[in-house]
Chains A and B, each alone.
Chain A
Amino acid sequence: MSGALAVSARLAWRNLWRNHRRTLIMLAAISIGVWAMIFMSALMRGMTDQMVRNGLRTLPGEVQVHAPGYRDDPSVANSMAWPQGALLSALQQPPVQAWSARVRVPAMIASERESRGVTLLGVDPASERALGSAPHADEISEGRFLEGPGDDGIVLGAALARKLDTGLGKRVVIMSQDPQNNVADRGMRVVGLFRARLEGTEELYAYTGRQPLQALLNIGDEISEVAASAGDYRHTARWAPALVSAAGPQLEVKTWRELDPYLGTMLRVQDGFSLIFMVVIFAVLSFGLVNTLAMAVFERVREIGLMQALGMRPGAILRLLLLESLYLLLLSLVAGNLAAWLTIKPLERGIDLSIVAEGMAMMGLGTTLYPALAWSDMLFSTAVVVLLGVLASLLPAWRAARLDPVQAINQV
Chain B
Amino acid sequence: MPRLVTAFVLALLAGLAQADDPASARDIIRRAMDHYRGQTSFSELTMTIHRPDWERSMSMRAWSRGDDESLVRVVAPARDAGNGTLTLEGNMWTFTPKINRVIKVPSSLMSQNWMGSDFSNRDISKDTAIIDEYDHRLLETRELDGHRAWVIESIPHEDAPVVWGKEVLVIRDDWVLLEQQFWDQDGELVKTLKAQEISSMGGREVASRLRMQQADKPQEWTEVVTAEVEFDLELPEGLFTLSSLRNPRR
> Hey, which bits of chain A sit against chain B, CB under 8 A?
106-108, 110-113, 115, 117, 152, 166, 170-177, 181-189
Sort chain B's interface into a size bin.
20 to 34
Residues of B within 8 A of A111 (CB): 163
B219: CB under 8 A from chain A?
Answer: no
How near does chain A come to B243, taking the closest CB pair, in angstroms? Answer: 18
Partner of A175, one of B107, B182, B185, B190: B107
Q: A170-B185, A182-B91, A183-B91 are in contact. Are A175 and B110 (CB under 8 A)?
A: yes
How near does chain A come to B129, taking the closest CB pair, in angstroms? Answer: 10
B184: CB under 8 A from chain A?
Answer: yes
CA distance A174 to B111 in the complex (A): 10
23 A-B pairs within 8 Å (CB atoms) are namely A107-B107, A108-B107, A108-B110, A110-B163, A112-B163, A112-B190, A113-B190, A115-B111, A117-B108, A171-B163, A173-B162, A175-B108, A175-B111, A182-B90, A182-B91, A183-B91, A185-B110, A185-B161, A186-B159, A187-B156, A187-B157, A187-B158, A187-B161
How near does chain A come to B107, taking the closest CB pair, in angstroms? Answer: 4
How near does chain B come to A119, taking the closest CB pair, in angstroms? Answer: 12
B14: CB under 8 A from chain A?
Answer: no
Q: B107, A184: Cβ atoms under 8 Å?
A: yes
B160: CB under 8 A from chain A?
Answer: yes
Q: A112, B185: Cβ atoms under 8 Å?
A: yes
Q: From B112, which residue of chain A is reached at the shortest CB distance?
A: A115
Q: Choose among B107, B110, B162 the residue with the greatest number of A CB atoms under 10 Å from its CB.
A: B107
Q: A172-B163, A187-B161 are in contact. Are A108 and B111 (CB under 8 A)?
A: yes
Residues of A within 8 A of B160 (CB): 186-187
Q: B108, A187: Cβ atoms under 8 Å?
A: no
Q: A183, B158: Cβ atoms under 8 Å?
A: no
B148: CB under 8 A from chain A?
Answer: no
How near does chain A come to B241, taking the closest CB pair, in angstroms? Answer: 17
Q: Top 4 closest A-B pairs, CB basis? A: A185-B161, A112-B184, A175-B107, A183-B107
Partner of A152, one of B157, B159, B182, B190: B159
How near does chain B come to A193, taking the closest CB pair, in angstroms? Answer: 16
How near does chain B come to A146, taking the closest CB pair, in angstroms? Answer: 16
CA distance A186 to B162 in the complex (A): 7
How near does chain B come to A89, taking the closest CB pair, in angstroms? Answer: 37
Q: From A166, which residue of chain B is reached at the shortest CB distance?
A: B185
Residues of A within 8 A of B185 (CB): 112, 166, 170-171
Partner of B159, one of A170, A182, A188: A188
Which residues of B (147-193) have their CB < 8 Å from a CB of A? 156-165, 182, 184-185, 190
